[in-house]
Amino acid sequence: MSLTIHLEELQKKSGLTMYAMSKKLGLKSHGHVWMLKTGIRKPSISTCFKIIGLAKEHGISLTLDDLRGDG
């Protein structure tokens, strides 16, 4: 599955808007989640760990490979 699908699932299960998700993850820009979802940016390793932590809070299991697809 793609990063977009994972983020949409997390957004749906958490009930957070993209703005609220950005704030919850401690990202500098509220547009950052949008850039990740559209593929404009790839999440950094530290952002991946923040996303994984938030996902875990909502019963979703993600890995770095799920989010970055480097391997």
Q: What is the pLDDT of residues 7-28, one digit of tens each?
A: 999 999 999 999 999 999 999 8
Chain segment 28-70, per-residue pLDDT in tens: 888 899 999 998 999 999 999 999 999 999 999 999 999 987 6
pLDDT at 29: 87
Structural domain containing residue 48: 3-68
- Phi and psi based region of residue 40 (left: phi greater than 0; alpha: psi -120 to 50; beta: remaining): alpha
> Could you tell me the pLDDT band of residue 2, with boundaries at 50, 70 and 90?
confident
What letter does residue 46 receive in the DSSP assignment? H
Tokens of 28: 């500098």
Q: What is the CATH number of the domain that holds 7?
A: 1.10.260
Please, what's the largest Cα pairwise distance for the chain? 30
Q: In the chain, how many domains are there? A: 1
